[in-house]
Structure 1
Amino acid sequence: MIIKEEIFIKPFKTNRLLHIYLPDNIKEGERFPVMYMFDGHNLFYDTDATYGKSWGIKDFLDSVNGRIIIVGIECNHEGNMRLCEFSPYSFTDEEWGKVRGLGKKTTNWIADVLKPYIDSKFPTLPEREFTGIGGSSMGGLMSVYGIATRSDVFSKAACVSPFYDYIFGKLVKDIENTSFNSDTTIYISWGKREFAGAKNLAIGTEKNLIISRMFTEKGAKVFPHLMVSGGHDETSWEKELPSFFYELGYIK
């Protein structure tokens, strides 16, 4: 089932809609691992999705009897605020202008406020080993950043098509300098069709491999995936669901 409810985000002084997936037919005493995901409106239903196509996570988990809770956090749809809230770093983009990096506040709010709230209200397995973070594009960037800087809370990350433009050097520096729990599993992917031409594909591939190697050197178990037919869209990301849910240990 999908539950939708508003929650107040104190750092941004605004309400935001949560899209929460719960398994059906919950047995008495049953508890579940949790994955916190960005762009919650794009995760479950096509009717809610920005471009009319969702990841189809509900249908997938229902089909495999996935016993997991997904907490999808809807983005801020005003102006360029999605970019601001989903980027840990400030940058300037030709289309979107000045982006103020508020992603650190978003990450800490998820780890320190949202997670305790979800644990208090739903039948979760609250321990770190059962807690993950995931998303695509800006949400993919936030998942890389979140697992790097808050591995005290998250032990798993699905970093799908991460956005690296303008901020890659800052991200690398933070991964280098942060303390990190080596008992961590990370799925990181990028699609061949996301890049225009062989040169850009090689550059994008190298960036993802740099991040993968850095996490590996810190002791994490990393699963890098080049999706040969993958694009930067929900249709492509839906095809990855079996891979990352399996490799992160959420399904068998």
Structure 2
Amino acid sequence: MLLVLSYATSSAQSKQLLNIGQSDTIYSKILKEKRTIWVQVPESAYSKTNHPNTYPVVYVLDGGVHFLSVCAVINQLSPGAVPEMIVVGIGNSENRTRDLTPTKVKEARGSSAWVKDSGGGARFTDFIENELIPYIDNKYPTANNKTFVGHSFGGLLVVNTFINRPELFNNYIAIDPSLWWDNEVLTRDITAKLASEKYKNKSLFLSIANPLPADTEKDINVLIKDNSINTEGLRATYRFSKIVSEATNSAVNFKYTYYENEDHGTIPLISTYDGMRFLFSWYKMSGKLVDIIKNPNTTAAALTTGFNTRFEMLSNHLGYQVYPEEEMLNNLGYMFMSHSPKKSLTFLKMAIKYYPKNANGYDSLSDYYRSQNDLQNAILYCEKAFAISGAEYHKNKLKQLKNK
């Protein structure tokens, strides 16, 4: 879920406005300038009763344009299809071309003026690595799992970082990247580079837009044979994608997708969605575990083993300890309470094991024992819930149980 920072109203407007994330600034000694960033933290991070949480971090270039859409995708997909994540949008300076291009060129696309300061990508990446990431890690509950997202020149920097500093991020999403830059400099020798062990356990999703009007050619096999300036970007990105996807010596988890009905401006949202689904394809609960949960003959031991296996896998993928969501365990406990009490008890005990400071888990166990006509344990667990919450609700519930 998203972090709602405030609701604002004005005399001229009665509707409530929802703000997502918060704005911040960081001064960069490397860039010698102040940079604006936007940060969204999952709402669960602020729960005082949940198990201490850390979260993967998504760093988004051109944050002023793409921060909200990336937040929206992650808020929609988490926690079922992707983990909850912190999102950091990185604002641009006045010289976007300087920051996002990996090499200096004298001319591009028939002009020299707009590229005179090009080639600052390495310095900008230094800022991200040595200043921004440590700042975010120090201020927010981050885990050591990071994703880098960029569009156009931002995608160019994402690919450059993937090639030259793959250790900086676990995952990369390059949205219609400008791989035509400097005569396709990033495609040179890419096959030989991919043989390195440093690309192991790294994932890259790359998208390609159709640069032509919607009512014209869509077949990529036709477009890659075109020699006009209109298809230069598509051809460059397609060449890079084919080389990487066909590299037999590569350990990279790679996928590229051509969107025939999306142009350079419309492609970011769908690319972010598909990219996140690809990068975290292993995250969604497997059918095997669902079958174990649904099977009426499943034992409590088998349930526990199934959940332990899943969350051990998630922990190994993400690089930090992952626990079952308290809400999920609680919901499953109530779902099975009437017709499969052993399953119900297993889930509710898990909730207390992982979230011992949460009164809700003890309250749910009280309801469980009440459903089994075990008044003594119903009172015991209601007392534990009340001891944590001090809530009037638990006080009154306890009184009702003792009067039975």
TM-score of the aligned structures, taking structure 1 as reference length: 0.82
Equivalence for 1:243 = 274
Segments ≥4 residues shifted beyond 4 Å = 174-179, 194-197
C-alpha distance in 2 between matches for 1:11 and 1:104: 11
Q: Which has the larger radius of gyration?
A: 2
Equivalence for 2:26 = 7
Whether the 8 Å contact between 2:62 and 2:150 is mirrored in structure 1 is yes
C-alpha distance in 2 between matches for 1:109 and 1:215: 31
Instruction: State which of 117, 128, 135 in structure 1 corresponds to 2:135.
Output: 117
Equivalence for 1:49 = none
Instruction: Provide the alpha-carbon RMSD of the alignment.
Output: 2.6
* CA shift for structure 1 position 236: 2.4
Establish whether residue 224 from structure 1 lines up as the match of residue 256 from structure 2: yes
| CA separation of 1:186 and 1:166: change in aligned 2, threshold 3 A | closer
Give the stretch that moved more between structures: 173-182 or 153-162.
173-182
Equivalence for 1:189 = 207
Q: Which has the higher contact order (CA 8 A, sep 6+)?
A: 1
* CA shift for structure 1 position 112: 2.4
| CA separation of 1:31 and 1:215: change in aligned 2, threshold 3 A | farther
Equivalence for 1:102 = 120
- Corresponding residue SS for 1:167: helix
* CA shift for structure 1 position 210: 4.3
- Corresponding residue SS for 1:232: coil
| CA separation of 1:97 and 1:57: change in aligned 2, threshold 3 A | closer
Equivalence for 1:18 = 37
| CA separation of 1:86 and 1:120: change in aligned 2, threshold 3 A | same
| CA separation of 1:152 and 1:166: change in aligned 2, threshold 3 A | closer
Which letter maps to 1:160?
Answer: I
Whether the 8 Å contact between 1:133 and 1:147 is mirrored in structure 2 is no
| CA separation of 1:38 and 1:87: change in aligned 2, threshold 3 A | same
Give the stretch that moved more between structures: 11-20 or 239-248.
239-248
Whether the 8 Å contact between 2:55 and 2:142 is mirrored in structure 1 is yes
- Corresponding residue SS for 1:33: strand
Give the stretch that moved more between structures: 108-117 or 32-41.
108-117
* CA shift for structure 1 position 170: 2.5
Matches within 5 A, 1:169-180: 169-173=184-188, 175=190, 176=192, 180=198
Cα deviation 1:97-130 (Å, max 9, x = unaligned): 424200011112212221122111111112xxx1
C-alpha distance in 2 between matches for 1:149 and 1:157: 13
Whether the 8 Å contact between 1:216 and 1:222 is mirrored in structure 2 is no
* CA shift for structure 1 position 10: 1.5
Identity %: 23
Whether the 8 Å contact between 2:61 and 2:150 is mirrored in structure 1 is yes
Establish whether residue 156 from structure 1 lines up as the match of residue 171 from structure 2: yes
Whether the 8 Å contact between 1:192 and 1:228 is mirrored in structure 2 is yes
Which letter maps to 2:66?
Answer: L
- Number of residues paired by the alignment? 235
Unpaired runs of 5+ residues, structure 2, are 4-20, 218-222, 285-404
C-alpha distance in 1 between matches for 2:103 and 2:77: 38
- Corresponding residue SS for 2:44: coil
Establish whether residue 83 from structure 1 lines up as the match of residue 83 from structure 2: no
C-alpha distance in 2 between matches for 1:214 and 1:6: 42
Q: Which has the higher helix share?
A: 2
